[in-house]
Amino acid sequence: MASLLKTESLSKSFGALAAVAGVSLSIEEGSLHSIIGPNGAGKTTLFNLLTGTFPPTSGEIFLGNQRITGTPAHQVAHLGLARSYQRTTVFPAFSLLDNVWTAAFATRRDWKGLLFKKSSSYDDVQERARQALGDVGLAEKQNHLAREISHGEQRQLELAIALAAAPRVLLLDEPAAGLSPEETRRMVELVRSLKGRYTIVLIEHKMDIIMRVSDRISVMHFGRLIAEGTPAEIQANADVRRAYLGGMAA
């Protein structure tokens, strides 16, 4: 299958610290590719490079056949990279629908028509927002304020916000962080339901989730990519198992 998102020798240094060092990744279209490693391994910095939040020190990033290295974050979003964050970033005083609509609005270029509700695009964005809420199981709560729903539902809302941008690639940064076991189960089911419909890159510390949902896994350590393979291959790698999986049986 063709690569949709690719990096070549991607690096980012902060002074003497090499947060990401020579990382080359190839994310296949339609796959769920997870990135694991301990805190400080460079995973979130890598996401920041992919989304244009940080410019790389060196190396290249490609989305499809287009070079996007150094492209500003708002332009990267327009090109089709959407991201969720480790911490909840919703507007608590907005309804769920308004939270999602605002995100969909931000990715459109015909913003004047949307703002004054004079464009057919306005109806399109409204429909996309409702569809995204339906995709994450929150359609019946679309008029609730974000502060009125549970933390787990707020994480689902963040996914809806990302989906409303109609992304080519969906970057999920620890979507199960802070969730209860039942909320985690629902999040796993949700991520599984998105597989195949979207190209997904996942950062997650809960290894049981990683092993259940991933097509391929890349392992980072001190900014470097030290292993890559299927879940079975990563489980069978003794060094990776000792360092990152807590001795999980192969």
- Tally of structural domains, the chain: 2
Side-chain-side CA neighbours of residue 79 (13 Å): 21
* More reliable by pLDDT, 129 or 105: 129
d(CA 119, CA 192): 35
Query: Is the C-alpha dihedral spanning 45, 49, 50, 51 positive or negative?
Result: positive
User: What pLDDT, in 10s, does the model give residues 73-103?
Assistant: 999 999 999 998 877 778 999 999 999 988 7
Average confidence (pLDDT) over 215-223: 94
Domain co-membership, 175 together with 250? yes
Domain co-membership, 250 together with 178? yes
Domain co-membership, 150 together with 174? no
User: What pLDDT, in 10s, does the model give residues 160-201?
Assistant: 999 998 899 999 999 998 899 999 999 999 999 999 899 999
Asked if residue 134 has pLDDT above 50, the reply is: yes
Q: How many CB atoms lie within 10 A of CB 134?
A: 14
Domain co-membership, 43 together with 153? no
Q: What pLDDT sits at residue 248?
A: 45
DSSP annotation of 228 = E
Domain co-membership, 184 together with 64? yes
Q: What pLDDT sits at residue 8?
A: 98
Asked if residue 115 has pLDDT above 90, the reply is: no
Q: What pLDDT sits at residue 240?
A: 85
d(CA 31, CA 191): 12
pLDDT tier for residue 104 given thresholds of 50, 70 and 90: confident
